[in-house]
Structure 1
Amino acid sequence: MAKLTLLTTLFAVISKTLAALPNHKIRGVNLGSFFIVEPWMSSQTWKSMGCGNAKSEWDCVASLGQERADTAFQKHWDTFITAEDFDKMKEYGLNTVRIPVGHWFVEETIAPGENWPRGGMKYLDKVVGLAGSHNISVILDLHGAPGVQAPNNAFTGHTTENTGFYSPDNYNRACTFLRNMTERIHTHDQYKTTFILEVLNEPEPNHASLISSCYPKAYTTIRSTESSLSIPESHALTIQMMSSAWGAGNPLHSLPNSTFNLALDTHRYLTYSSIPPTKADYLNASCGDTFPSEENNKPLIIGEWSLAVKQEKEWSDEFSPTRKENHGWYRRWWAAQVRAYEKQKGWVFWSWKTELGGDWRWSYKEAVEVGVIPKDFSKVGEMAEC
């Protein structure tokens, strides 16, 4: 870690405008397919980058070669999310963005032979700076972990069956990422509204070392980095982990006794649930949704959710988004979910924008534009009719 002068450290403390979690409800969107492109939701962008039928970023880099891939990805990072997007977020009443990032943005975590695009950090700096200039809070999320934390998922950056993350070496690489980002957040003014660092997105269940080793190490890494920078507790980052409801265990179980500024994340996709895919059942589920805490009542944010329904019914007459008579029901279902999630600390919709040919159920921006999601949150309770 580079030595910082007292003046630099003082500047970092003064420039930080957010302390822990804000008092207001978190209302946000994920910047999906930005720093980790998922071809299913951004097929036009993927093809324009020259990635063709590649399943993930790893495959695209391997196909294009490092130099061509870096050029293609850097163009994407420079153009996919702009100041205009943040203007719209403010207009639509949003106050937070969650930014999924791969470990490879801290390039010292890249092992020999790994196929990751390079040169992303300055674009991450740019977009968090845009968020800051719009007074929009930022959650930075380690979405793609070293070695891959979940099988066959493009959100990890590499669609492979091998989940190699769960090892001491890869835990160390993840902590290198977290240490670097913690230092950057506290010493670069672009990050003045960055208030949460999420240590891992959607881990595979049943890895005991995640609870006994990875999470304690991650927590200690972030706090020791802040201590070395003389960051007071009032300006320390909130550290977020997936809740035990996600199935990977209680993330707080082996943390140090004296912890502070912790928050939990869970994801609620009814499209992947066992709830019968009918309008009545979906509404009843969302109206009655609760999130019992097994983790000492730590603040909970529903960090991903959408308006998607089960695939076998998504284009049926009952649910098709192209049928305007269904829009009123989707409006009510959106409100029912918001009502439930705001009984907790708040929510972050997946995602801000997509390329799904008019299927706005995954796109907050498009859903507002077609009139399904309102800009005014004051009548959510009435709209939900729960």
Structure 2
Amino acid sequence: MAFSRSILFTCCLAVLASAAPTLHHRADKVRGVNLGGWLVLEPWITPSIFDNTGNDQIVDEYTFGQFQDHGKALSVLRKHWDTWITEQDFIDIADAGLNTVRLPIGYWAFDVSEGEPYIQGQIPYLRKALDWGKAHGLQVIIDLHGAPGSQNGFDNSGQKMDFPQWHTSQANVDRTKAIMERIANEFDAPIYAPLNEPAGFDDGVLPVTKQYWKDAYGVVRASSHPNAKVLIHDAFQPLDSWQGFMTPPDFQNVAMDKHIYQVFSDAENQMSEDQHIQTACGYAQQLSSFDLELYIGEWSPAKTDCARYLNGRGIGARYDGSKAGSSFIGSCDGLTGSSSTFSREYKTFLRKFWEAQTSTYEKANGWIQWAWKAEEADDWSYQAGLAGGWIPQDPTDRKYPNICS
């Protein structure tokens, strides 16, 4: 997930369009969910895991291993890995008419160097997920969500920091490539995403990222699964800046991943419900005219940043003014947490916003909502949306077929 340092780029992207012809846009759309918070911890998805430590210094998976007893931390993680996502979730996802799951996993599952406090044990669950996907007709995207040194400084990269360090060290990049080589050789998946959300808006990150995309492509093509799709990320850059990058005939079976949220800036939180819907619909032209397969690999029906810890553990929300430097826009009551507090009108908006986004994102090759579940943020949860009625049991069903007309 993208957090606040990307907001300089989120507001303007909807108006950027390209004149390139439409290529690779298939009828069989990707419709899926992210298994966020399972093999990579995120404080806002499972706040109880962090609150139960009793230590405010624990804000990400790095500090989760750093500031508590190893045995205790491992016990908590094993219980979480065993219960947060099970085969029943894969059954439920397939029953909901979806065809794809994106599975975030951190580099530390494969390689922990001396001095790194990360706790390992995720790989057996990755293998289970791949087996469950095959058993229930779901394609699994293995998404390398965190790299050594952090590629974006977000807590979901494993280590929260002011500025990413991944790109500043060739050793970091080489470790990442070696991990990607292991993934592509050992784990049979139809799609590999070599790195989540590199911070292309920070100095020096973008050129390293572009070279890494090409190197990772070569790693996959030389692996035991050479025909898998390689899913690269736009690094928070406008799509038109990527036109012509890694296209055929020199590169084959490459797709672009773009993440779209409307909650990580003051301006977005201030938008009316109609403006949120109009903004989503406004992406149609640029998404339909890109020259690679294109997935909206993260997005949400949420209209505010009210979910607890969404901006980081101990950091408040822009919407209610509890985040330092923000101003009060409105109360978060009834906008996140349990859907039992959601009004009928709010659920109607969530349905409209969900339909506006999915209809628009299918102008490209499809979408993968963030996330399947969350402990106390039902506005983000696909599972809760199904139960609450604002997400249809059939993802092609439309109550508002002309929402973007």
Is the shorter-chain TM-score for this pair beyond 0.5, marking a shared fold? yes
Identity %: 28
Q: Give the Cα separation in 1 of the matches to 2:333 and 2:146.
A: 37
Q: Measure how far apart 1:339 and its partner are.
A: 0.3
Q: Measure how far apart 1:124 and its partner are.
A: 1.2
Q: Which amino acid aligns with 2:197?
A: E
Residues 1-386 of structure 1 mapped to structure 2, 5 A cutoff: 24-47=28-51, 50=53, 52-53=55-56, 54-107=58-111, 110-151=112-153, 153-166=154-167, 167-186=169-188, 194-205=189-200, 206=203, 207-225=205-223, 229=224, 236-243=227-234, 246=237, 250=242, 253=245, 258-272=250-264, 274-275=267-268, 276-290=270-284, 292=286, 297-311=291-305, 312=319, 315=331, 322-356=342-376, 359-380=377-398, 382-383=400-401, 385-386=403-404
TM-score under structure 1 length normalisation: 0.81
Aligned-partner SS, 2:379: helix
Bigger helix share = 1
Q: Give the equivalent residue in structure 2 for 1:6.
A: none
CA contact (8 A) 2:259 2:296 kept: yes
Q: Measure how far apart 1:314 and its partner are.
A: 6.7
> Post-superposition, which runs of at least 4 consecutive aligned residues in structure 1 deviate over 3 A?
20-23, 45-48, 50-53, 65-68, 244-257, 273-276, 293-296, 313-321, 381-384
Unaligned runs of 5+ in 2: 1-23, 306-318, 320-328
Q: Give the Cα separation in 2 of the matches to 1:286 and 1:254.
A: 27
Q: Measure how far apart 1:382 and its partner are.
A: 3.5
Unaligned runs of 5+ in 1: 1-19, 187-193
CA contact (8 A) 1:299 1:344 kept: yes
Q: Give the Cα separation in 1 of the matches to 2:288 and 2:64.
A: 41
Q: Give the Cα separation in 2 of the matches to 1:378 and 1:100.
A: 26
CA contact (8 A) 1:352 1:364 kept: yes
Task: Sort the Cα spacing of 1:116 and 1:245 in 2 relative to 1 into closer, same or farther, 3 A.
Answer: closer
Q: Measure how far apart 1:379 and its partner are.
A: 3.2
Q: Give the total of aligned pairs.
A: 347
CA contact (8 A) 2:302 2:350 kept: no
CA contact (8 A) 1:211 1:253 kept: no
Q: Give the Cα separation in 1 of the matches to 2:243 and 2:175.
A: 19
Aligned-partner SS, 1:352: coil
Q: Measure how far apart 1:212 and its partner are.
A: 4.9
What do the CA deviations read for 1:79-103 (whole angstroms, capped 9, x no partner)? 2101111121122111111011101
**TM-align CA RMSD:** 2.8
Q: Give the equivalent residue in structure 2 for 1:3.
A: none
What do the CA deviations read for 1:213-257 (whole angstroms, capped 9, x no partner)? 3222211112122xxx4x5x6xx1100111265369649747896
Q: Measure how far apart 1:349 and its partner are.
A: 0.5
Q: Give the Cα separation in 2 of the matches to 1:323 and 1:74.
A: 37
